């Protein structure tokens, strides 16, 4: 059976009411489309734990900065829908911008503390855009569980806190990062990379893994992180936003690795910004 595509909040709610009325659990997989195996891992995890899975495809304008790639962001709904169907999804919510942000829209969700480091420094307003749209999607769908990737680890923690603080009764589930054969975290933006840039990009997870392994001995992190930044530059990364050791719950920087430490990085290859993270202990 072809999966249903709905474009309005009313139709989404009617479809999910139907599932829940039949006593079925429902999982939600929010995406911006341009799907790859990382997104499908979320759908697979959702299908494993919920009877029904609804995916959303919405390129959320409010999480893009003025100089970011909103206009160029890849869009291919027919391909995305076919992939979601093959992954066992039951429903796709693909609204237009006006459905999500009608005229007069005036509310923003801001999660303080977790958003002032890492990508929060380099992408002002990004996490407000994310928290606002995800709060809306969770309220619109009213699902049992919603699935997000650890690839965007800061985003996952921001969403967890937002859902807890706003008493949204949906369980937030994190799914491990899906990687290419050389370790590069899958991302819709990887398609921007030229072959030469793609070869350089694969070095980011390798450096992170090496530094994470080295840091598990409990020595101060700063010298090794500085060395890693120099190595990334020497390898061809054009700009390094950050390489930082943080506590994975608070996302605050820490000087020496301990339980729950995680290494976070954001760096450009050419004009493409890559992010990744790696657990330390």
Q: Which of 16, 87, 175, 232 binds ligand AMP (CB under 6 A)?
A: 175
Given 3, 6, 39, 83, the residue binding ligand AMP (CB under 6 A):
39
Counted residue by residue, the chain has a size of 281
Phi-psi region at 118: left, alpha or beta (left = phi > 0; alpha = psi -120 to 50): left
Site for ligand AMP in 145-164 (CB under 6 A): 148-149, 151-152
Query: Which residues, numbered 19-38, are part of the site for ligand AMP (CB under 6 A)?
Result: 31-32, 38
Burial (CB < 10 A; 0-12, 13-18, 19+), residue 170, is buried
In the complex, minimum distance from the CB of residue 150 to ligand AMP, in angstroms, rounded to a whole number: 6
Site string for ligand AMP, 179-208 (x = CB under 6 A): ------xxxx--------------------
Least spacing, CB of residue 104 vs ligand AMP, in Å: 26
Other beta carbons less than 10 A from residue 37's beta carbon: 13
Q: Is 117 a known active-site residue?
A: no
C-alpha–C-alpha distance, residues 97 and 129, integer Å: 13
Distance of closest approach, residue 30 Cβ to ligand AMP, in angstroms? 6
Binding to ligand AMP in span 206-265, by CB under 6 A: none
How many residues bind ligand AMP (CB under 6 A)? The answer is 17
Pull the structure tokens for residue 185.
């975290």
DSSP class of 151: G
CB of 31 to ligand AMP, least distance (A): 4
Name the DSSP letter for residue 178.
P
Distance CA 161, CA 156 (A): 9
Q: Any long-range contacts for 45-48 (C-beta under 8 Å, 24+ apart)? A: 45/147, 45/173, 45/175, 46/145, 46/147, 46/173, 47/87, 47/88, 47/89
Q: Closest CB to ligand AMP among 183 and 224?
A: 183
Residues 6+ apart with CB under 8 A from 110: 127, 128, 131
Whose structure tokens read 């919920």?
Answer: 50
Which DSSP helix (H) or strand (E) runs through 146? Answer: strand 145-149
Task: Rule CB under 6 A: say whether 46 interacts with ligand AMP.
Answer: no
How far apart are CB 232 and ligand AMP at their closest, in Å?
20
Stretch that binds ligand AMP, among 14-22, 88-96, 173-181, 253-261 (CB under 6 A): 173-181
- Residues annotated as catalytic (active site), given as ranges: 39
Binding site for ligand AMP (CB under 6 A): 31-32, 38-39, 41-42, 148-149, 151-152, 175, 177-178, 185-188
């Amino acid at each position: 059976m072809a999966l249903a595509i709905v474009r309005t909040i009313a139709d989404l709610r009617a479809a999910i009411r139907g599932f829940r009325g039949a006593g079925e659990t429902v999982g939600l997989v929010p995406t911006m489309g341009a799907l790859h195996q990382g997104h499908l891992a979320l759908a697979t995890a959702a299908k494993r734990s919920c009877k029904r899975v609804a995916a959303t495809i919405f390129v959320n304008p409010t999480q893009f900065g003025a100089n970011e790639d909103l206009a160029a962001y890849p869009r291919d709904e027919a391909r995305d829908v076919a992939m979601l169907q093959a992954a066992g999804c039951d429903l796709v919510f693909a609204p237009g911008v006006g459905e999500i942000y009608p005229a007069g829209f005036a509310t923003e969700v801001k999660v303080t503390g977790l958003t002032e480091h890492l990508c929060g420094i380099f992408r002002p307003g990004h996490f407000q855009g994310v928290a606002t749209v995800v709060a809306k999607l969770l309220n619109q769908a009213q699902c049992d569980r919603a699935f997000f990737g650890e690839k965007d680890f800061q985003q996952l923690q921001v969403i967890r806190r937002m859902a807890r603080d706003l008493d949204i009764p949906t369980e937030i589930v994190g799914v491990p990062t899906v990687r290419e054969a050389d370790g590069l975290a899958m991302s819709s933006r990887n398609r921007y990379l030229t072959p030469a840039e793609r070869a350089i990009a694969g070095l980011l997870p390798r450096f992170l893994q090496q530094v994470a392994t080295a840091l598990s001995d409990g020595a101060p992190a700063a010298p090794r992180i500085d060395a890693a930044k120099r190595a990334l530059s020497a390898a061809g990364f054009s700009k390094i936003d950050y390489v930082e050791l943080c506590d994975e719950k608070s996302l605050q920087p820490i000087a020496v690795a301990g339980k729950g430490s995680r290494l976070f990085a954001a760096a450009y290859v050419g004009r493409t910004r890559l992010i990744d993270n790696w657990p330390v202990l």
